[in-house]
A and B are shown apart, each in its own frame.
Chain A
Amino acid sequence: MGRVGTAIVLLAACALSALVAVVGSAQVQHAPTSAPVSPIRFRNVATESGIDFVLENSATPEKQLIETMPGGVVAFDYDGDGLIDIFFTNGASVPSLEKSQPKFRNRLYKNMGGMRFKDVTAEAGLAGIGYSMGATAADYDNDGHIDLFVTGVNSNHLYRNLGNGTFADVTQKAGIHSDVWSVAAGWFDYDKDGRLDLFVVNYLKWSPDNTLFCGDPNGPRAYCHPRFFAGLPNTLYHNRGDGTFEDVSIRTGIASHIGKGMSVAFADYDQDGFPDVFVTNDKVPNFLFHNLGNGKFEEVGLETGVALPDHGKDISAMGTDFRDYDNDGLPDIVMAALAGETFPLFHNEGKGWFRDATYHSHLGVLTNKRSGWSAAFVDFNNDGWKDLFVSGSHVNDTVEAFEATPYRLPNAVFANSRNGTFQDSSSAAGADFQMPGVHRGAAFADFNNDGKIDVVVSQIGGQAELWENTSPADNTWIDVKLSGLTSNRDGLGAHVRIGSQSNDMTSAVGYASSSLAPVHFGTGSLRQVDIEIHWPSGIRQTLRGVPTNQVVPISEPSEK
């Protein structure tokens, strides 16, 4: 036996006494309790707010895969009144994939203030076409009005905001394809030309003619595993700046990678000044597209350690977020997944690679029995540390016949313990927060301008939930509302620092969803803060002694 073997035997011998302790106790240790954190509480105010949206998936006896996948939610201020509005995607008839009845319309709710919303879908012209999946918001033409891109089954649509409360479908004119099943999309400026480009996440090859049978022939039929379908490459559109887009998927290297994409998030993981793209994939390794800065991307998921958890097995990676959770200044990655897979967390080590921190952060133990869709790092209790929200549900409505895991699940919130770990705060988040549902997309914004981030969640076959953040208002906060000049108007891609905290301006978060709102910081007991902004243009800007508890509009300076 060589040195390695000797070391192993010695270790095994040393471990004997430890095993005695194992055998002597039948108790399994759970994650250690962490230091107390400020409470996080929510109250579902959907009904009184006027949000009556029900996500219709047209469930069929044939168990068509598309039925499991809608739908996204967008939080954005479409009319520029300072109040964040809400857009929901919706399904359609199957197999026609047509919005044949009013119940299938996508829905836009205008925020009237005071947590009251009004359905303005018809007047806005956003009822939509086809079986919609996800959506993403940004001002792609830098005209000051936020536009909307809606993904769907063989039917993607770009809606230009005309600035008068209405939208125009400019898909064809803009040169956008509409021929595969797209789930999610995100806006970012990959070449830093000041114009937002569009990344579209494609899932797999599916047709309404699909007759594949999955499940127990003598028992319940089940939705088919994605392995029965061929994957697709994602699509990257370059914004030409004249209202049209060019498909640059091949030229940039994006099209070289076939996946089964679920969601997308952007951040500059290696701090080279160019935004990188993280794409979750369903039961195939995730992608991390490293932006080389020369118009090309290199897929480095495996090399950087974010393609798979450390066990090396494929997981059903769902929605994601790409943000700094431990205040070390580097964007980390979290994603939702299904029961038994945990919600993996990858910590950015700052050396060009990530460490699987799922168990170290306690999320492994806390989430192993959960299934989720939208995951987002948001500081809900304004203590200066981002917490984790995940919308809950399994994918398969007959899962209980096959596995010991529920289909309908409550949402979950994990409080950041401020030491690299999380604790499950769901049970203390409120009585109605415990209600299970078939949750999917989620968007995050301060809908009532009280300084606390609220959440809106879609639910298949059930009323959408609007979670008003009712956590104690002891801590201060500040929202940074960016306005780009050289950079894109929304400031997407800007990196904002307040003390040791950092956050990125992005609208790509969660599952098939989008949250375009000011960059939020909880500031604990601080009354004023210094704000440092690193704009996509490379311009750095610092504001000193800014009072907290306000939304601070910040325009990009004209010079470096």
Chain B
Amino acid sequence: MTLLSISAFLSLLLPPLFPQSPGAHACDSIASQALRQNGQRTFENKQFAVAAQNFQQAFDACPDEHSILLQLSEVHLRLKQFEEAIQVARHFLDLEPASTTGELALANAYFMAQRLTEAQRETFTVLKTDPANPLALKLKGNIEYFSGHLDLALGTFIALLDKHPNDEEGAYMLGRIYYQEGRIEQASGQFQRVLRINPRSYRAFDNLGLCYESLGDSEMATRSFLTAIKLVESDAPEYDWAYANLANLLLEEGNAQKAFAAASQAADRNPYSARNFYLGGKALAALGKNDLSANWLERSVALDPKYPEPLYLLARVYTQLGQLEKAQATLEKFRVVKAAAPRERK
């Protein structure tokens, strides 16, 4: 789970349309609006490339509709086209130099591009004039966290929540930082807070499950994951983390059969997650189904060749299948990957 989801929140807070500013450009506002609506629809359907095309055409049809650029910048971020996102946000600011929303969009684009110094500069510009701006504070906290200034990040999120005690995203982010730092009780407190603000926050239930798991309370962890899953079924069919986290817990509890079922659901929801296929492969290996396990692990490795855990298990499974050359080759890859990027996934 990443803290980089702030871009989604920026997009939610954008005004639907900026007031049309006077200008000399030719403006076909009816065509522009239709294209923009198409863009919004395709964006919601996660057809980001098409959405980008729609927004670009909408802006071209009526260049006076500056706010379309903010949506275009956001789509570029979703497409991981960070430089394009930065350029478009800058273009917007050239047209609307006093726009706080524009400053935040540019700051967010820099942040997503991991250009943290520039992101920080833009964020401070906003905070100078609006020190309590919640989006700016959230960006600031994230920038501090990713710059390794943990204490500063915690201070920023705590300050944010002092000013905006019902900021769901702020509490969630603070909980995530606490969790990542192993301060489980505090993390748990923040996820509980999120649930007081929004009782249907499946992400909070999911993370609460992780906290209970860390605290050794398997039963409450299971309950939390299952509650998250129930909410996900109706509210967020694409959310796969709760299934994967449940699968991981079930594996640690020695229940490989059910772990496989949960991992399968996670993979069904997100077939591009290497972790989901790793968990499925791990469950199958524990069940002694090495042939099938190899399939799942191969898929995991294909999705993320720099993820060490499936590489190692795949090498072990190949060994058990008697495929010693493949085992050796996979071990070599594991050695390289492990030396380069040891990391934890949760």
Contact = CB atoms under 8 A, between A and B. Distances in A.
A12 interface: yes
A22, A368, A369: residue with the most chain B Cβ atoms closer than 10 Å: A22
Nearest to A405: B216
Interface stretch (B14-22, B96-104, B248-256): B248-256
B256 to A, nearest CB: 8
A312 B308 contact: yes
B113 interface: no
Interface stretch (A179-187, A291-299, A357-365): A357-365
B312 A26 contact: no
A554 interface: no
A349 B316 CA distance: 12
B342 to A, nearest CB: 8
Given A22-B258, A31-B254, A404 B226 contact: no
Given A359-B286, A368-B252, A310 B230 contact: no
A255 B219 CA distance: 47
A71 B255 CA distance: 37
The bracket for how many chain A residues form the interface is: 35 or more
Interface string A1-33: 000110110011001101101110011111100
A349 B319 CA distance: 11
A302 B320 CA distance: 14
A121 to B, nearest CB: 42
A20 to B, nearest CB: 8
A366 B286 CA distance: 16
Interface in B171-213: 182-184
A15 B265 CA distance: 8
B257 interface: yes
B292 A7 contact: yes
Interface in A361-386: 362, 364-365, 368-369
Q: Is the interface of B mostly helix, strand, loop or mixed?
A: helix
Contacts of A369: 216
B254 A362 contact: yes
A11 B309 contact: no
A4 B222 contact: no
A405 B213 CA distance: 12
Interface stretch (B3-11, B39-47, B57-65, B330-338): B330-338
A311 B226 contact: no
Given A4-B298, A28-B253, A404-B184, A23 B230 contact: yes
Q: Is the interface of A mostly helix, strand, loop or mixed?
A: loop
A194 interface: no
A312 B338 CA distance: 9
Interface in A387-440: 402-405
B258 A19 contact: yes
B296 interface: yes
A355 interface: yes
A29 B218 CA distance: 10
Contacts of B229: 23
B222 A312 contact: no
Nearest to A312: B312
B162 interface: no
A310 B285 contact: yes
Contacts of B92: none
Interface of A: 4-5, 7-8, 11-12, 15-16, 18-19, 21-23, 26-31, 217-218, 302-303, 305, 308, 310-314, 349, 353, 355-356, 359-360, 362, 364-365, 368-369, 402-405
Given A11-B280, A28-B222, 12 more contacts: A8-B299, A12-B268, A302-B334, A303-B327, A303-B331, A311-B282, A312-B311, A313-B344, A353-B319, A355-B316, A360-B286, A402-B182
Closest 9 CB pairs of A and B: A312-B312, A18-B261, A15-B264, A19-B261, A12-B264, A15-B261, A404-B215, A365-B254, A312-B309
